[in-house]
Structure 1
Amino acid sequence: MQLQTFSGTAGAERGALEALVNVLSNEVLPELKAYYPKAEFHWRGDMLTIAKEYARQLSGLGITVGDIRKTLPMAKTRAATESYPPNPIEFRHMCLHTVGMPTLDECMAEIELLRTGEFGPKRQGQKIWSCPFVYWLSANTSGSRAHMSDPQWRKLVKLSYSKLADKFAAGEIQPIPRLLESNPQPAYMKYMGKGAA
């Protein structure tokens, strides 16, 4: 009985993957090829293999065909500054942007703003983050900033961004931790009332 259930699940996953490959090879990749003329040379004309690579990145994310289609305007905009189409991982990130994940540029801008512009007593150590994704990206990379050059740090942020994108896709981004209020008793209070007889 377990083998039938497993094979049924595997069949459903295979069917979903084939549906993704179909949409990508018939709709999305031809559009990307039009936006990026160098794609034909880069892909060497093997659209089915490329569609399978893209589909593997999107498999299991809960991304709909509509979400995939929403990435096409983003890809067209990107074509103004990029010569080659987004690789499968970049395309995966673009699809995740359509369902609410912030872009790397948005994250970097917010981290920089809160690092420089929102520092000091007016916030009393509290930073207001736009979403948990940006908070955790900052938390994972801010400690390294002091001993890394800016290019090294930015490379670390990109790597952490990709890892967090996997968690975002799996729905595993934790909420921003709440600050605990602590009002310790001043040291001199320990001695108040002692020694007086």
Structure 2
Amino acid sequence: MNTTITSKHFELTDSIKDYIYKLSDSLEKYSLDIISNRVVISYQDKKGKEKKKRIFEIDLTINVAKSNTIVISQKDKDLYAACDLAFSRMHKILRRYHDKINNKHATPSEEIISADILRDEALSLKEDEIVPMDLDLHKPLDIDEALERLKSSSQQFFVFNDKDLKMRVIYKRIDGKYGLY
């Protein structure tokens, strides 16, 4: 991983550089193909009502192969605290991306294969059968009839044609009442 550290408005010491290199090396534990890492540290004096405030801003940019560039900005009074916060946020993002790629919550392949075998066996035993049904969707319904059908079923909504042959939808609302479109 190529790490570049730059500073604006102040000079970097070796201890700060070593600290940032140590933090950026810790990002490699996620086994992602990190191409480059750029850290820009800027320093500002902000004048307030009572006294001057020193603020350090860390801009952390990481390029990961086959992914978007990740950019994090962090401000703090203490330079080391700003570095820690920025890198902890980056760890969180990279951990989520690593988990997404590796899909830790997927079902094991043996379960998928056994489920496919059981489904194929069930389909081979079943014969194709056509069951005739009487469709009454084309018949116009009264709103009261549609409401009774919805109440008697476990569905959330019911689509029907009313007496004026307009398509209507009656649905169950969260508050227990019924709505009509």
Do the structures match in fold with TM over 0.5? no
Structure ranking higher in helix proportion: 1
Structure ranking higher in strand proportion: 2
TM, length-normalised to structure 1: 0.27
Larger radius of gyration: 2
Task: Kindly indicate whether structure 1 or structure 2 has the higher relative contact order, using CA contacts under 8 Å at least 6 residues apart.
Answer: 1
